[in-house]
Structure 1
Amino acid sequence: MRVSTVQIENAATILKLLGDRTRLTMVKILESQDCCVCEFVEIFKTSQPAISQHVRKLKDAGIVKETRRGQWIIYSLNKENDFYPFVQNLLQQLPNQDFKLQELEQHGLRISCE
Structure 2
Amino acid sequence: MEKTKIELENAAQTLKLLGDRTRLTIMGLIKDGECCVCEFVEVLQMSQPSISQHLRKLRDAGLVKEQRRGQWIFYTINTAHPTFPIVQQILEQIPDQKEKLRALEEAGLRIQCGS
- State the TM-score, normalized to the length of structure 2: 0.89
Deviation larger for 60-69 or 84-93: 84-93
Q: Which range moved further: 79-88 or 14-23?
A: 79-88
Segments of 4+ moved more than 4 angstroms: none
Deviation of the 1:95 alpha carbon: 1.7
Distance 1:111 1:35 in 2: 8
Aligned-pair CA distance for 1:9: 2.1
Instruction: Give, as a single letter, the amino acid of the residue that structure 2 aligns with 1:64.
Output: V
Q: How far apart are 1:14 and its partner, in Å?
A: 0.9
Identity level (%): 56
Q: Does 1:49 align with 2:49?
A: yes
Structure 1 unaligned residues grouped into runs of 5+: none
Aligned residues: 112
What are the residue-to-residue correspondences of 1:6-21 with 2, within 5 Å?
A: 7-21=7-21
Deviation at 1:111, TM superposition (A): 2.3
Higher relative contact order (CA 8 A, sep 6+): 2
Q: Give 1:47's aligned amino acid.
A: S
What's the Cα RMSD here?
Answer: 1.9
| Unmatched tracts of structure 2, length 5 or more | none
Q: CA deviation at 1:33?
A: 2.2
Q: TM-score, normalised by structure 1?
A: 0.89
